[in-house]
């Protein structure tokens, strides 16, 4: 893998446009990134009435860049105007790269790849932003396996440099190369990692967040644990992180890791309770903390 990381080369036909499926926390971040760096970006929206809200959220990241004088208002508007949306699969044949950032559910994701393959160009690269599901498993019913891989961005996409790139056993070197080229041109730091549940970062991060929940269950306080970890030097504490990521995502990832690694990766019961009570963090305005 180290060898492949170093052997990335520039191609004559780099990826210049992309489609993003899923318009939640991650989808919006990825849409923003591609609108900034690519020529054309399309969003596949399930409910067209949400289109304005999605564009508004994406434009907030540009507002910040304008406010901090990293971009002019005109430049931001130009970039935002590259975004188009479709409720169906219109124009899918014309795009080089399609990434899904939909709900963390193996069957729903697999069904989505079938729908995409029915309408996409056979050369199109199809990627998943899954946090934890094995890419080999997700690719089992994909026809064009050589063009399929995991491209795992981190939250928030505009700030986090690392992207895990995870091939399945049939992903071609050309696909990996093109994805590296895309990510580097978008200012990211791609790293090629082997396929397993949770890849590298979440195999480390989830037990850390889970352990914080166990300490809470033993009677400590949310703010106290977060403050200790901040004083230790992390940019935010584990509960602030869980609210930012989404407790639902944390719970689903923890469940997949528990199924894959057994008792080595248990799930704290407070996470399950919060998931069932829909206390999901920032997205529901209440999680470990409350949000206005």
Among 58, 213, 249, 267, binds ligand NAD (CB under 6 A): 249
Closest C-alpha to 11, from 125, 187, 182: 182
For Cα atoms 30, 97, 15, give the angle at the middle one, nearest 5 degrees: 100
- How far is it between the farthest Cα atoms of the chain? 59
Q: Is 245 in the site for ligand NAD (CB under 6 A)?
A: yes
Q: Which of 57, 96, 104, 226 binds ligand NAD (CB under 6 A)?
A: 104
* Shortest Å distance, C-beta 67 to ligand NAD: 24
Residue among 50 and 75 whose Cβ is closer to ligand NAD: 50
Q: Taking CB under 6 A as the rule, does residue 102 contact ligand NAD? A: yes
Regarding 103 and contact with ligand NAD (CB under 6 A), the answer is yes
Q: How far apart are CA 59 and CA 54, in angstroms?
A: 9
User: Per CB under 6 A, does 129 bind ligand NAD?
Assistant: yes
- For residue 148, the minimal CB distance to ligand NAD (Å) is 15
Interface of this chain with ligand NAD, residues 8 to 37, rule: CB under 6 A: 22-27
Question: Taking CB under 6 A as the rule, does residue 287 contact ligand NAD?
Answer: no
Residue 73 beta carbon to ligand NAD: minimum distance, rounded to whole angstroms = 28
Catalytic residue, candidates 28, 36, 42, 152:
152
Site size for ligand NAD, by CB under 6 A? 21
Of 156, 152, 181, 186, which Cα lies nearest the Cα of 39? Answer: 186
Residues 147-206 binding ligand NAD (CB under 6 A) are 153-155
Using CB under 6 A as the binding rule, the residues of this chain from 37 to 56 that contact ligand NAD are 46
Closest separation in Å from C-beta 68 to ligand NAD:
24
Look at the alpha carbons of 268, 272, 273, 274 in this order and tell me if their dihedral is positive or negative: positive
Q: What is the distance between the alpha carbons of residues 149 and 182, in angstroms, rounded to a whole number? A: 14
d(CA 144, CA 99): 15
CB of 63 to ligand NAD, least distance (A): 20
Residue 175 to residue 162: CA distance in whole angstroms: 19
96 binds ligand NAD (CB under 6 A): no
Helix (H), strand (E) at residue 36: helix 25-37
Alpha helices in 102-245 (DSSP H): 106-119, 135-138, 173-185, 201-217, 222-232, 238-245
Does 243 bind ligand NAD (CB under 6 A)? Our answer is no
Residue 127 sits in the site that holds ligand NAD (CB under 6 A) = no
Kindly state the smallest distance separating residue 64's Cβ from ligand NAD, in Å. Answer: 19
Q: Does 281 bind ligand NAD (CB under 6 A)?
A: no
Per the annotation, the verdict on 165 as an active-site residue is no
Beta strands in the chain (DSSP E): 17-21, 40-44, 83-86, 97-100, 125-128, 148-153, 162-167, 189-192
CA–CA gap between residue 89 and residue 43 (Å, rounded)? 10
Residues with catalytic annotation? 152
Q: Which residues bind ligand NAD (CB under 6 A)?
A: 22-27, 46, 101-104, 108, 129-131, 153-155, 245-246, 249
């Amino acid at each position: 893998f180290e060898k492949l990381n170093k052997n990335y080369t520039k191609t004559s036909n780099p990826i210049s446009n992309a489609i993003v499926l899923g318009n939640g926390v991650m989808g919006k971040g990825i849409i923003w990134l591609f609108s900034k760096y690519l020529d054309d970006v399309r969003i596949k929206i399930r409910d067209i009435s949400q289109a304005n809200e999605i564009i508004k959220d994406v434009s907030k990241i540009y507002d910040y860049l304008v406010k901090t004088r990293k971009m002019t208002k005109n430049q931001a508007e130009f970039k935002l105007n590259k975004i188009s949306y479709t409720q169906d699969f219109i124009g899918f044949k014309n795009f080089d790269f399609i990434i899904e950032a939909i709900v963390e559910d193996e069957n729903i994701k697999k069904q989505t790849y079938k729908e995409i393959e029915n309408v996409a160009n056979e050369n199109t690269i199809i990627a998943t932003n899954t946090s934890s599901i094995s890419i080999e498993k997700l690719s089992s019913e994909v026809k064009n396996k050589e063009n399929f891989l995991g491209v795992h961005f981190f939250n928030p996409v505009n700030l986090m440099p690392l992207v895990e790139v995870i091939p399945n056993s049939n992903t071609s070197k050309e696909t990996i190369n093109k994805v590296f080229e895309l990510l580097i041109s978008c200012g990211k730091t791609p790293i090629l990692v082997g396929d397993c549940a949770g890849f590298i970062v979440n195999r480390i991060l989830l037990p850390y967040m889970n352990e914080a929940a166990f300490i809470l269950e033993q009677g400590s306080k949310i703010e106290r644990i977060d403050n200790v970890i901040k004083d230790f030097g992390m940019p935010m504490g584990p509960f602030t992180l869980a609210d930012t990521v989404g407790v639902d995502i944390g719970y689903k990832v923890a469940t997949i890791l528990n199924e894959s690694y057994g008792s080595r990766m248990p799930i704290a019961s407070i996470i399950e309770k919060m998931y069932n009570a829909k206390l999901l963090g920032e997205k529901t305005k209440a999680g470990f903390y409350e949000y206005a």
